[in-house]
Structure 1
Amino acid sequence: MHLAASIGVAEPSQAKPSQAKPSQARAMIGRWIRYYNEERPHQFLGYVAPRAHPALAG
């Protein structure tokens, strides 16, 4: 899945930043930070997402 689709952000050609409200921007940034920190594979963890890594799970 494409990163933009996974966090609910429009493709660059579809995005209209001048129309985004600050609350919408905060929500999108929050989703991106969550994805970046929890869901994307990390090199240090052997390209496993932290959420799925056995040493970090629950």
Structure 2
Amino acid sequence: MEPIALTLGQKFEIEKFSREIDSSNDPQALRSIAKDLLVAWKQQQAASAWVLRQTYGL
């Protein structure tokens, strides 16, 4: 199975937001970003599980 590859646009977005995070000196802002990322990660896991259930009838 091939690994999932990021598009060039996604790679640029990662770089943009990585630089923004690196330049932040605000711990509260960084906590907020971390929590937003946690929610997005779990939503992506839920979406992937839903697709698998729909595809394979699980």
TM-score, L = length of structure 1: 0.43
More helix by share: 2
Larger Rg: 2
Greater relative contact order (Cα 8 A, min sep 6): structure 1 or 2? 1
